[in-house]
Structure 1
Amino acid sequence: MYKVNEVFETIQGEGSFTGAAAIFIRLQGCPVGCSWCDTKHTWEVNDEQRLPLGDIVIKTAETEHWAGVSVEEILALFVKEGYQAKHVVITGGEPCMYDLNPLCEALHSKGYSTQIETSGTFEIKAPAKTWVTVSPKVNMAGGYKVLQSALDRANEIKHPVAMEKHIDELLRLLQQTDITAKLVYLQPISQQRRATELAIAMCKKYNWRLSVQVHKYLGIS
């Protein structure tokens, strides 16, 4: 069973799949504690906030409510809702608190591609063909360390930046990681002008890529 905060179909707004139609599965629970997190409603798992899956799908606002959902129920929901996208993004919260192998394997068997968005602070349990986006969270309030195994597994590293120290953090992480076959993105925190200018300058300097959270500029989920 997976604790699901919301499921919705939209356009992926970040990283290498920017612009792709996607179904998002947002899982509940995250102890990492990022101060700028824009999904803080997914941090806590409280039994009194549990709802049936049907009520989760029709939510019209961000809430701490979640549903306990099986793999079979997730697949049935896609059919019931008439989702057309064939790319599934599993996010959170921190999705790697869960073993994602059963969910991803079931999705692959139905012709979906899968992507995980994780902080890199938990072991990644997912099939080899799942695309893994590690957005490394360094020195956050929860005290979790970015795992070397997560950096090694990543297909792309998407680092949130607002100031020079965030660039220094990323450079230290990359020193111990072979990035030959990985994509490296900088993502300005909260679309701040200074952060965006810094990210652009560093992308030029290190030949990295820019991720600008297109969905926020468009005003969509």
Structure 2
Amino acid sequence: MPPALTARGFHAAMESVTRRLPFGLADVIPPSLLGFGVINGFTFLVDLALLTLLHSGLAQSLWLSITLAYAAAFALSFVLNRALNFRSHAPVGPQALTYTMVVIINYLLWILGVGSGLAALGVEYHLARVLAGACEAVYMYCAMRWVVFRDTSQLGGNAVQRPADDRDDHRVHGVRPGDGTPSRLYPDAGVGESGDAAPDDRSRVVDDQHALGRTAIDRGPS
């Protein structure tokens, strides 16, 4: 299935669910928040599974197990949130760098600070990881929506890039992209992104204007 269709389907599902939330929550919870919960709930299960495998199964140290499981889960979270939830079209390089910095802060503050700290105090390490995960969920959603994918934040975290065929429709019907008004030069002529006639139609506009002028001269004053 094409990625664009998958993203639209995921967003449509999140919108459908949020519209049905009771107690006025539909007016408070945006689809991107629900999508974040779904995606990060899945990646959190991946995190716990890898943590259990590394620490209990392979007898790795707790700090190394937490680190490796955390890195794998958050890399997956970035890919899924960017493609399906926030549907960002900004360059991936700067976003990945910003996300890495956000994740490092999150790791030091919540994962090692809270997770390992609670485990050192005697809290069972799964429970410690769950408590730390609750704290990081709030932090990560805010960071992803308003910092990492800030190109979509003005649209509630669900920006959609207009398909190329929509832009072509504007050129065919002589409508200015964005405001839907006809071209002033020629109603049926194609228009470019600036709202002027497309280069291929300019000569037709000028020829028609000349033809109208010659007709007026031939008819003379009425």
TM-score surpassing 0.5?
Answer: no
Structure with the bigger percentage of helix: 2
TM-score range (shorter-chain normalised) is under 0.3
Higher relative contact order at CA 8 Å, sep ≥6: structure 1 or structure 2?
1
Q: TM-score, normalization: structure 1?
A: 0.19
Q: TM-score, normalization: structure 2?
A: 0.19
